[in-house]
Structure 1
Amino acid sequence: MSSSGDPTEQSAPVVRPEVWETYGPADLSAVPVFAGGFINFGYWKAVDLERPLSQGDRIRSEQDLYRHVLDAAAPGGGRAVEVGCGLGLGCALALEEYGPSVITGVDIHPQQLQRAREANSSLLEAQPARLRFVLGAAEDLPLGDAEFDCLYSVEAAQHFPDLPAFAREAARVLRPGGLVAVTSFFTVGGALEPAERLAGLLDSFASGLDIARPVSRLEEALAEAGFADVRVASIGPQVWPGWDRWLSRLWAPGTWPRNFLAAWEQQILDYYVVTATRP
């Protein structure tokens, strides 16, 4: 959006049909595999994968993925924004454990925002000045220029149709010295025909819900948007084996959700944390 526009007057964003269905009527947050409502694959480093997994282990993995990203985003004491906030449980975790002065959750789906307000109703009532949820697209954030000290996003970038536009918006809404931290799954650099191979393995890529792009696309977009110290780190070993162990409770080998691990083992797909600083 333009820097001179009023963010409160922004029109409703266009939502891709696959995203609309998955996060609206289908309500992915209610699917048992996403126990706890965080809607991410989890960071399983602190979970013992050699014993039977509990729902508590699953929720811990989802929370720990947020903690891993928030450690990089360093929101303590500043103004933070989460892009693709879903049910807003990560915003609540950030408020409780990292102490930002204010946190804004942005999501493109109006039904998700309604669920976020319901899930966090007590927190919104108790601390209305510290938490808000707003409707907006990653590529056209309904936020003011230089409004935030950090911007983070947890397992949402695989849905963003335009990574360069997202990077430009991140640069616009961050103050000088502000940090961005994004975690999601991307294709591995040098993989042959990754989009076709992923579509053959995983229904979420075949349907267009997830978009196959190399992590270098985001890295380059951030650099082109003016960010400095752009860093990319794989956390695949802490994500894929635990995610597959959890999936094994609900899906048999050979079913498409179990192919996430296969895609990683075949070096087509990996999970990354990408960080950068706005000079």
Structure 2
Amino acid sequence: MANGAERACPAMRPVVQETYGPADLSRDPIFAGGFINFGYWQAIDLDRPLGEADRIRSQEDLYRHVMDVAGLRKDRKVLEVGCGLGMGCAVALREYGPAAVTGMDIHPEQLQRARGAHADLLRAEPERLRFVQGAAERMPVEDGEFDAVISVEAAQHFPDLGAFAAETSRVLRPGGRVAVASFFTVDDAPGRPEELARLLDTYANGLDIARPVKALTDAFTERGLTNVRVEAIGPHVWPGWDLWLGQKWAPGTWPRNFLRAYEQRLLDYYVVTASRPA
């Protein structure tokens, strides 16, 4: 295998380039605190009005859940695939004490924002935090470099889950773990992409790719990863996300259809874990 640092980053899909570049999704108030995920609302009281602090906690808690199941702890090296503004990397450093965290994103503008948001941390701990440009299908890092690979709400954008799984297997050390949080279709029944495209603009414009969660678990297995597990966390994602959206979006508008797609058993939110054999 060639040196990982020599692996060129493939071209971005245009819709990804626009959404996370000039459009800068992170500026939307629904993604408070610089995170860009739907949130994990299990510990938040949904029977009272939601504030920005609740929203930020939901996003941090999604990271915490992923990092817990990935087995993050001290003296481990961690790679986040699709790091965005690096807010999850900061949570990892602050709360889990890993030896080093690498945030990787395909979009150079996101990486520029990440380096700006965490300039003090980068200056204070240059050996423990870095940001690199790379794609899920071609990671510019070394073979066996990481004890854990995490990805939070990015896999719905990855064009090739098989290539992502192969790269994950390559960069994990023996015994290392991967944990991926994202939304997938519940099955591969014919017509699922068309159903979701009618409900949700992000599927209609191609930003999100409609695939069953089995596509990811099969990809991990086929690339030699073991102990593949799937956890459906929809009850802790969709209701809270919809309540938060209700502060900006009226019923019947397309973002509110995420909950509808979940209730119709078209879509769910999953955490998928796997290990590289020791």
TM over 0.5: yes
Aligned residues: 276
Of 1, 4, 9 in structure 1, the residue corresponding to residue 2 of structure 2 is 4
CA offset at residue 190 of structure 1? 5.3
Distance 1:167 1:31 in 2: 31
Distance 1:272 1:93 in 2: 21
Any idea what the Cα deviations from partners look like across 1:60-91, whole Å, max 9, x if unmatched?
00000000000011221211000000000100
CA offset at residue 10 of structure 1? 3.5
Match of 1:45 in 2: 42
Match of 1:264 in 2: 262
Distance 1:265 1:190 in 2: 17
Match of 1:65 in 2: 62
Q: State the SS of the aligned residue for 2:139.
A: coil
Question: What letter is aligned with 2:169?
Answer: A
CA contact (8 A) 1:191 1:268 kept: no
Distance 2:252 2:94 in 1: 40
CA offset at residue 172 of structure 1? 0.2
Of 187-196 and 264-273, deviating more is 187-196
Any idea what the Cα deviations from partners look like across 1:138-187, whole Å, max 9, x if unmatched?
00000000000000000000000000000000000000000000000000
Match of 1:120 in 2: 118
Distance 2:77 2:96 in 1: 11
CA contact (8 A) 1:80 1:148 kept: yes
**Structure 1 segments unaligned to the other structure (5+ residues):** none
Distance 2:266 2:164 in 1: 24
Distance 2:43 2:94 in 1: 20
Distance 1:30 1:11 in 2: 29
CA contact (8 A) 1:87 1:115 kept: yes
Any idea what the Cα deviations from partners look like across 1:24-74, whole Å, max 9, x if unmatched?
000000001101111000000011111000000000000000000000112
Identity percentage of aligned residues: 65
**Structure 2 segments unaligned to the other structure (5+ residues):** none
Matches within 5 A, 1:218-229: 218-229=216-227
CA offset at residue 12 of structure 1? 3.9
Question: What letter is aligned with 1:254?
Answer: G
Distance 1:185 1:37 in 2: 20
Any idea what the Cα deviations from partners look like across 1:195-246, whole Å, max 9, x if unmatched?
0000000000000000000000000000001011100010000000000000
Question: What letter is aligned with 1:170?
Answer: T
CA contact (8 A) 1:191 1:267 kept: no
Q: State the SS of the aligned residue for 2:33.
A: coil
CA contact (8 A) 2:230 2:272 kept: yes
Match of 1:137 in 2: 135
Tell me how large the CA RMSD over aligned residues is: 0.9
Question: What letter is aligned with 1:178?
Answer: G
**Please, what TM-score do these two structures have when normalized by structure 2?**
0.98
Q: State the SS of the aligned residue for 1:129.
A: coil
Of 147, 150, 158 in structure 2, the residue corresponding to residue 149 of structure 1 is 147
